[in-house]
A and B are shown apart, each in its own frame.
Chain A
Amino acid sequence: MGTKKKTRRTAGTVLGNNDAGDSISLQWLIHRGLGPAFVAVSLFGLLIRAAVSLHSYSGAGNPPKYGDFEAQRHWMEITLNLPPRDWYTNGTSNDLSYWGLDYPPLTAYQSYFHGLILRFFDPDSVALFTSRGYETYFGKLLMRWTVLGSDALLFFPAVLYFLYVYHYGCNSRSSCEVAWHMVMLLINPCLILIDHGHFQYNCISLGFTVGAVAAILSNRDLLGSSLFCLALNHKQMSAYYAPAFFGHLLGKCIRRRNPLLEISKLGLVVIGTFAIIWWPYLYSTDAIFGVVSRLAPFERGIYEDYVANFWCATSIIIKWKRLFMTQSLKLLSLVATVSTFLPSMIQQIRSPSGKGFIYSMLNTSLSFYLFSFQVHEKSILLPMLPASLMAREEPFLYKWLILFGLLSMFPLLHRDGLTPPYMALFALFFLLFHTNQGSKDLGLGIGHSSAAFQYSTTVALLCSFVLHFVYLTAIPPEKYPYLFEAMMMILCFIQFSLLAIYCNWRQWKLSEDLTRSWKEKKLL
């Protein structure tokens, strides 16, 4: 070790520049500009995705209902063979109890489009009725490639757009930081495992959201809101961000010269986008409500499985499902969600800012995750996105959310047979986050590193590792077959709620800082 340090120092002094001082940093990756570096990171990201897609998927070889893979394939089959009006209605050729379409129309169009590709190469895989449970080598491959393609064509360009907007004109940030941020955005282990392992198309709705954020940050509000509408229409879960978008755009509009005009312009764009996407269902109100009722599956109860949110975590003490009717639970969860995201939304209306907007997205999506009705483990992907967008400012927050987000999905991924890629990506994330190349320059050390904080984070991480290990090796007691899942869920719930409190505090502190600097300016 000693000799190595000496070599470095001599090289540094001869060169006379700083980057050779401690280590070579990511400079070599980005010295040709953002473009080649982005292509390199994208290629690596795609390689990892392609490698993960070699593994099993949800419900592989598990009749009669299989899993999400079969659901997506079934939607392709339905949309390809039936007219749009019948997609959401129960009929002789569309049995809604077998993976009925329960996402908004854009998902249906996407399924149709991907179905066309599948039909071109492998007609059997999307034939009506006969293709149920179709699992062949080539069929799986085609399905995997549609996700890979959507990721490459939608999510990656959106991230590039965002990076360009976010880091443009910020000379204070070194280019190495941009490269690091790029890696964090493109290689999000949870997103990769869910999309390319478990099998879903989250990259599409999240890609639209990233595009919307980038557009809004560069003051193209109309484009941003229409992109967000697309995200909403691909997965209704994107509504987790809606309060943030609403608050931020409203706050911006009322500060303009002509607030009413600005608001009506935005409104028209939103209504226009919705109208185009919902066109096949606009012929009658019944049709619209028919689709809407498919999107909100209230009959499934306030929580399923072991999701790390408030209702599930507290159900150990308070048996919500037994104490309350579904109707009152709906109301209760609505009140809880609204009251938790309201402060963050109000902050954005009062003092909208780019930074505050992303914080607000994180806060509202976390409050939806923690308090809303019928949340799935996979919904942790939504808070993860804004966290990754500001990973540069809040590296610790992002890391923590990823580590415990992964843990919260571990039982799900384990059931899918994805434990090996889970472990590989867990390790890969750790390595990429703590990149050896100039981690000191990147300032990944967190500000408040008091001994108590260090101690508690170490304990939490240790708990996480022990839980992984125990879950894989030990057999739970017969009386509590889901003991380990419950323990994981409680640990994750505690972490997520602490993060939510911290983020709300940070967001409000932003506006305090803003007003203080305002006052200082006035005084000057």
Chain B
Amino acid sequence: MRELWWYIGVVTCLKLLLIPAYHSTDFEVHRNWLALTRSLPLCQWYSDETSPWTLDYPPFFAFFERFLSLFASLVDPKIVHLHEGLNCKSPTAIYFQRLTVIASDSCLFYAIHRLARNFGPIRRNLLWILVAWSPMLVIVDHIHFQYNGFLLGLLLLSISFLMDGRDLAGGFIFAVLLCFKHLFAVAAPVYFVYLLRHYCWGRGLLKGFFRLSVMGITVISVFAAAYGPFAYHGQIQQVLLRMFPFGRGLSHSYWAPNIWVFYIILDKMLVFMLRKLGFSFNPPISSFTGGLVGDVSSFSVLPKITPLTTFIIVLIALSPSLINVWSKPQPKSFSRWVAFAYTCGFLFGWHVHEKASLHFVIPLTVLAVQNLEDAMHYFLLSIVSCYSLFPLLFERQEYPIRVLLLLLHSLLMWLGFSYLYRKTELCEATVAANKLGGPHKASSSGEFKICSMTRIYLFGLVIIELYGQFLHPYLLGNDLPFLPLMMISTYCALGMTYSWIWQLRQIIRL
């Protein structure tokens, strides 16, 4: 534990240093939530429209904000004032909110401590480095401003319980997580099938039914605790309306690097080609040059995509893992299925934000420190997804910070993996495998290498960054400002798609 404190201490110092850095509108979003949960009665939380940043997270998160607002009002009553606090950017407000994010990360640290407690020393240290020092979390939570570390901590905690075979606790925590942020629901099918198969099935009808009802009651009571108060006030419809705003477009303002990038580009190319052939089209209202939040879901040639379509595609995409879960419900593979489910959600989902790549990169870390092949895949994936977050920090001041974070992460990852998967490291691999309970594939026998395809791909990433930062302003000045961003998301989408295929292959082979 003392070792973990060291890692936490170092990264906390960095986070403290980053307090004056740029923060996005999410800062004001969360400040507004502090204010409205503090000053309004519960029944108005989801109907208040004082600020455009209305509450759109599930109730537990609202309760969490309410809890934080108790301290906020002690620090500076202005932070929690519904009207006077609007766009409050006083140093106290910034320090207070940044410190709450730093403090809430303790949930993540506990989860990785719990996950790593049975690992060998090298694996354990590497896991801490990769998760506690994750550049993605620093960028999204401590610069951009959100509470992902806390939420991912809950997810990892749930995975950790399931890997120990404590299914009820794992399911309970996942239900709690869903009541904090409903975007995590993409993995719910995996949880459902796994818990049904591993916890309830094959233990005789009576015991199975008993367990099913225990699990059901647990989950339902969690949801009741979250939504009950709002149901009491007759607010449920309003809550759900806020939580699922399907009015938003298929893509976020900046395209998340998923499959729809290719879809949009294919549409544009078809328009271009058909125009050449003499057809005429009405261009969609919001052209992709706008780059603002708009309805990008209307296309000129290709069929329109609706939320239902994406929902079905996601379900189809993750069905192989569901079959796999049912046929071989092993606890040690659980983080792989969860990660795969989130990858599907990211790649095919509706209005995906690039930050959502955290949901699968962090669980995959657990596998990467156990398995050489996963490590090689993780090396590429974590660089790509961290790079895809770069457009979040668009101000000049943070440019060196984001580049240094990514470079440092890549280098530490390379050093750590190549130290862990040395030729002589066979013994520890087997020790760790035995500890995890279960036969381990002999894939840990090789050495950690970065294959030539990965090298070429990463080299391309460097070229795109150099183009976007230096060559583009030099050649085109301020024209086509969206082009570098589009290149980033297209190029990263390639990597993400590769990662999805790779994960799918692993799951089929399992």
Decide if B463 is an interface residue (CB 8 Å cutoff).
Answer: no
Pair B400/A148 contact, Cβ less than 8 Å: yes
Across the A-B interface, give the 4 residue pairs with the lowest CB-CB distance, nearest first: A51-B17, A28-B419, A436-B6, A428-B13
Complex interface: chain A residues within 8 A of B480 (CB): none
Interchain CB contact under 8 A, B431 and A427: no
Question: What chain A residues lie within 8 Å of B396 (beta carbons)?
Answer: 138, 141
Asked if B216 is at the interface (CB within 8 A of a chain A CB), the reply is no
With contact pairs A141-B396, A428-B10 given, residues A43 and B407 touching in the complex (Cβ less than 8 Å)? yes
**Is the pair B3, A29 in contact by a Cβ cutoff of 8 Å?**
no
Which residues from chain A contact B400 at a C-beta distance below 8 Å? 46, 50, 145, 148
Closest CB in chain A relative to B506 CB, distance in Å: 26
B406-432 CB mask vs A (1 if < 8 Å, else 0) is 011001101110111010000110010
B404 in contact (CB, < 8 A): yes
Taking Cβ atoms with an 8 Å cutoff, the residues of B that contact A are 1-3, 5-6, 9-10, 12-14, 16-21, 95, 117-122, 125-126, 396-397, 400-401, 404-405, 407-408, 411-412, 414-416, 418-420, 422, 427-428, 431, 435
Answer whether A420 and B19 are a contact pair too, CB < 8 Å, given A46-B404, A48-B14, A145-B400: yes
Tell whether, in the assembled complex, residue B20 and residue A31 are in contact, meaning their CB atoms are under 8 Å apart: no
Q: Could you tell me if B431 and A424 are in contact, using CB atoms closer than 8 angstroms?
A: no
* A48 close to B6 (CB less than 8 A): no
Q: Are B401 and A432 in touch, CB under 8 angstroms?
A: no
A7-15, A78-86, A228-236, A454-462 - the one binding chain B: A7-15
Encoded as 1 (CB less than 8 Å from any B CB) or 0, chain A from 420 to 460 comes to 11011101100110011100000000000000000000000
Query: Which residues from B are CB-within-8-Å of A52?
Result: 17
- B18→A40 contact, CB < 8 A: no
Distance (whole angstroms) from the CB of A147 to the closest CB of chain B: 12
Chain A residues with CB under 8 Å of B408's CB are 40, 43-44, 47
A24 lies within 8 A of B428 (CB): no
Q: In this assembly, does A322 line the interface, its C-beta being within 8 Å of a C-beta of chain B?
A: no
In the assembled complex, A1 has its CB within 8 A of some CB on chain B: yes
The answer on a CB contact under 8 Å between A431 and B10 is yes
Is there an interface contact between B14 and A47, defined as CB atoms closer than 8 Å? yes
A15 to B426 CA separation, bound complex (whole angstroms): 9
Q: Could you say which of A37, A43, A52, A148 has the most chain B C-beta atoms within 10 Å of its C-beta?
A: A43
Q: Are A32 and B418 CB-contacts (below 8 A) given A40-B411, A48-B14, A50-B401?
A: yes
Residues in A with CB closer than 8 Å to B12 are 427
Known pairs A424-B13, A427-B13; A54 contacts B120 (CB<8 A): no
**Given A10-B431, A40-B411, A46-B400, A424 and B16 contact (CB-CB distance below 8 Å):** yes
Residue from B1, B10, B13 within 8 A of A4 (CB atoms) = B1
B411 touches which of A20, A43, A427 (Cβ 8 Å): A43
Query: Are A432 and B121 within 8 A (Cβ)?
Result: no
B397 touches A28 (CB 8 A): no
Assembled-state Cα–Cα distance A109/B14 (Å): 34
In the bound complex, do residue A23 and residue B13 qualify as a contact, i.e. CB atoms below 8 Å apart? no
Is A150 an interface residue when CB atoms closer than 8 A count as contact? no
The reply to whether A7 and B120 contact each other, CB–CB distance below 8 Å, is: yes
CB–CB A54/B397 < 8 A: yes
Q: Which residues of A contact B1 (CB under 8 A)?
A: 1, 4
Most buried by A among B16, B17, B126: B17
Q: Name the B residues within 8 Å of A432 (CB-CB).
A: 10
Beta-carbon contact of A436 and B3 below 8 Å: yes
Closest to A55 in B: B20
Within 8 A of B (CB), among A45-62: 46-48, 50-52, 54-55
User: Which residues of the other chain, A, contact B19 by a CB distance below 8 angstroms?
Assistant: 420
Q: Is A92's beta carbon under 8 Å from chain B?
A: no
Chain A interface size, as a band, is 35 or more
In the assembled complex, how far is the CB of residue B260 from the closest CB belonging to chain A, in whole angstroms? 34
How far, in whole Å, are A31 and B95 apart by their CA atoms in the complex?
40
Complex: chain A residue closest to B408, CB-CB: A43
Q: CB-CB < 8 A to B126: which residues of A?
A: 28
Interface centre among B13, B122, B396 (most CB of A within 10 A): B13
Nearest chain-A residue to B396 (Cβ)? A141
> In the complex, are the beta carbons of B13 and A24 less than 8 A apart?
no
Interfacial chain A residues near B2, Cβ < 8 Å = 436
Q: Which residues of A contact B405 (CB under 8 A)?
A: 47
Of the residues A20, A32, A424, contact of B121 by C-beta under 8 Å: A20
A105 to chain B, nearest CB (A): 30
Residue in B17, B20, B122 whose beta carbon sits within 8 Å of that of A28 in the complex: B122
Which residue of the partner chain, among B117, B412, B428, contacts A11 with CB atoms under 8 Å? B428
Question: Are A40 and B412 in contact (CB-based, < 8 A)?
Answer: yes
A420-B19, A436-B3 known; A29+B415 contact, CB < 8 A: yes
Q: Does A137 lie at the interface of the complex (its beta carbon under 8 Å from any beta carbon of B)?
A: yes
Q: Which residues of B contact A50 (CB under 8 A)?
A: 400-401, 404
Q: Chain A residues near B431 (CB, 8 Å)?
A: 10-11, 14
Q: Are A28 and B9 closer than 8 Å at their CB atoms?
A: no
Q: Is the CB of B121 within 8 A of A24?
A: yes
Q: Which residues of B contact A437 (CB under 8 A)?
A: 3, 6, 125
**A3 part of interface (Cβ distance < 8 Å):** yes
- Given A141-B396, A436-B6: A51 touches B14 (CB 8 Å cut-off): yes
Other-chain residue from B13, B18, B401 in contact with A431 (beta carbon distance below 8 A): B13
24 contacts between A and B (CB under 8 A): A8-B121, A11-B121, A14-B428, A15-B428, A20-B121, A28-B122, A28-B419, A32-B415, A32-B418, A40-B408, A40-B412, A46-B400, A46-B404, A47-B14, A48-B17, A50-B400, A50-B401, A51-B21, A51-B401, A55-B20, A138-B396, A436-B2, A437-B3, A437-B125
> A7-B120, A43-B407 in contact; A36/B18 too (CB < 8 A)?
no
Q: In the docked arrangement, what's the CA distance between A87 and B404, Å? A: 37
Assess the A435–B16 pair: CB atoms within 8 A. no
In the assembly, what is the distance between CA of A44 and CA of B409, in Å? 10
A46 surroundings in chain B (CB, below 8 A): 400, 404
Question: Given A14-B427, A43-B407, is A24 in contact with B415 using a C-beta cutoff of 8 Å?
Answer: no
CA A46 – CA B3 in complex, angstroms?
24
Q: Is A39 an interface residue (CB 8 A)?
A: yes
Q: In whole angstroms, what is the CA distance A299 to B16 when docked?
A: 41
Closest-CB distance, A144 to chain B (whole angstroms): 9
Q: Which residue of B lies closest to A36 (CB)?
A: B415
> Which residues from B are CB-within-8-Å of A1?
1
A145 and B411 alpha carbons, distance in the complex (Å):
23
Instruction: Please indicate the chain B residues that have their CB under 8 angstroms from the CB of A47 in the complex.
Output: 14, 401, 404-405, 408
**A139 → chain B, closest Cβ, in Å?**
12
- CB closest chain-A residue, reference B10: A431
| Complex CA–CA separation, A23 to B334 (angstroms) | 29
In the assembled complex, A511 has its CB within 8 A of some CB on chain B: no
Contacts of A273 in B (CB 8 A): none
- Identify which of A7, A420, A421, A428 contacts B435 (C-beta below 8 A): A7
Query: Distance in Å from the Cβ of B226 to the closest Cβ of chain A?
Result: 35
B118 touches A24 (CB 8 A): no
CA separation between A499 and B401, bound complex, in Å? Answer: 37
Q: Which residues of A contact B9 (CB under 8 A)?
A: 427-428, 431
